């Protein structure tokens, strides 16, 4: 395609430099221009810095700005858009953006595990590959993609699996979607259809939805101390196929009876939740019969974001259940 790829930046390690001792990486406003020059050479792009912050400080309004800028870029002729982002919450931002991305052109999120000043920095190669992906014919219609370490991942499946390695991201259950090559993606499997995008854009501030982790003898008594406004919805990171201690069930039933949506994911990295394997107290069958929603293949953090986005759009119980059914395992 003949258009110029737009590169938007929210910062992250990819645009950080270290001190003289090679430690204490921090945002560097000058690193962006150097990185773009090193990664792309003479490749024409349009670039715009939206922010330069760590990903732990990314807020919904940052993603709203990025989404609006990306839509505007493709509507003006860009074949695709790249967004740089810190890796800590990259998978969450990519997922939330994907739930709203309603264009055929790809929106590609990338970052780096090593600061721009470090020997062997991975940012230039990741940025080059992200721009290639944004132009790739095979990337059209695939929504938001995450590109790092030579691979492209779908936003709903990718997760950060290492806090240190440059091979920090993986996708479950099918592995990466593609290898990034110079002219196109080499698809490794046929992608499943995307869920229908949500309307509009993320709210500037999402509803407060606690994410609690279930474990041995965990009765979720913390719920007793949360003011009503702090629990408009609840996500539980359950054990196994989405199970909780029987001691937690009375509190979960009470919340559900009061009208609070409760989504149960699993803290296990792969396999997702079930709907029918077990029927003891605290099992998935018990939870479903009590009115909870099972998250399927969505991990806890992404489940929380989807529930927040749905609640911000005024979704009721049946619409919430239907949205999570798209991720059933």
Q: For residues 23 and 236, what is the distance between their CA atoms, to the nearest angstrom?
A: 36
Residue-wise pLDDT tens digits, 229-251: 666 899 999 999 999 999 999 99
The whole-number average pLDDT for the span 84-104 is 97
Quick one: tokens of 27?
A: 């945002």
Quick one: tokens of 183?
A: 């002219």
Q: For residues 151 and 299, what is the distance between their CA atoms, to the nearest angstrom?
A: 21
Could you tell me the pTM of the whole model? Answer: 0.92
Q: What CATH number should be reported for the domain whose range is 5-187?
A: 3.40.50.1170
SS3 at position 230: helix
User: Is the four-CA dihedral 137, 138, 144, 149 of positive or negative sign?
Assistant: negative
The whole-number average pLDDT for the span 109-121 is 84
Q: What is the pLDDT of residue 221?
A: 93
Kindly report the backbone phi and psi dihedral angles of residue 174, in degrees, each rounded to the nearest multiple of 5, phi listed first: -105, 0
Listed range (20-24, 153-157, 173-177, 283-287) with the worst mean pLDDT: 20-24
pLDDT of 15 strictly over 80: no
> What is the distance between the terminal CA atoms of the chain, rounded to a whole angstrom?
37
Sketch the domain layout of the chain as residue ranges.
Answer: 5-187, 211-325
Q: What is the pLDDT of residue 62?
A: 96
Q: Is 13 a catalytic residue?
A: yes
SS3 at position 243: strand
The whole-number average pLDDT for the span 44-69 is 92
User: Is the four-CA dihedral 208, 209, 215, 217 of positive or negative sign?
Assistant: positive
Q: Which fold has domain 211-325?
A: Rossmann fold (3.40.50)
Q: For residues 4 and 181, what is the distance between their CA atoms, to the nearest angstrom?
A: 18
Q: What is the pLDDT of residue 1?
A: 43
The residue annotated as part of the active site, out of 13, 87, 266, 273, is 13
Residue-wise pLDDT tens digits, 196-230: 999 999 999 999 999 999 999 999 999 888 876 66
Containing H/E element for 91? helix 90-98
Tell me whether domains 5-187 and 211-325 share a fold: yes
Q: What is the pLDDT of residue 16?
A: 67
């Amino acid at each position: 395609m003949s258009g110029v790829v737009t590169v938007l930046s929210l910062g992250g390690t990819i645009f950080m430099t270290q001190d003289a001792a090679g430690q204490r990486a921090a945002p560097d406003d000058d690193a962006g221009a150097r990185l773009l020059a090193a990664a792309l050479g003479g490749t024409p792009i349009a670039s715009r810095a939206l922010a330069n912050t760590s990903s732990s400080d990314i807020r919904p309004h940052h993603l709203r700005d990025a989404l609006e800028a990306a839509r505007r870029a493709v509507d003006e002729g860009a074949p695709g858009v790249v967004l740089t982002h810190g890796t800590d919450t990259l998978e969450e931002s990519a997922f939330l953006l994907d739930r709203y991305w309603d264009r055929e052109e790809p929106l590609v999120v990338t970052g780096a595990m090593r600061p721009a000043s470090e020997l062997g920095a991975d940012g230039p190669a990741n940025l080059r590959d992200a721009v290639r992906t944004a132009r790739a014919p095979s990337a059209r219609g695939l929504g938001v993609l995450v590109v790092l370490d030579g691979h492209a991942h779908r936003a709903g499946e990718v997760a950060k699996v290492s806090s240190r390695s440059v091979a920090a991201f993986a996708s479950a259950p099918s592995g990466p979607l593609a290898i990034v090559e110079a002219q196109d993606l080499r698809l490794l499997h046929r992608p499943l259809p995307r869920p229908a995008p949500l309307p509009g854009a993320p709210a500037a501030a999402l509803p407060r939805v606690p994410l609690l982790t279930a474990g041995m003898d965990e009765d979720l008594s913390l719920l007793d101390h949360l003011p009503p406004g702090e629990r408009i919805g609840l996500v539980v990171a359950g054990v196994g196929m989405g199970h909780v201690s029987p001691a937690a069930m009375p509190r979960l039933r009470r919340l559900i009876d009061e009208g609070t949506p409760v989504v149960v994911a699993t803290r296990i990295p792969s396999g997702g939740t079930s709907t029918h394997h077990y029927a003891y107290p605290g099992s998935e069958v018990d939870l479903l019969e009590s009115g909870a929603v099972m998250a399927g293949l969505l991990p806890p953090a992404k489940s929380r974001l989807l529930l927040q986005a749905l609640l911000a759009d005024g979704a009721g119980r049946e619409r919430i259940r239907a949205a999570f059914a798209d991720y059933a395992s």
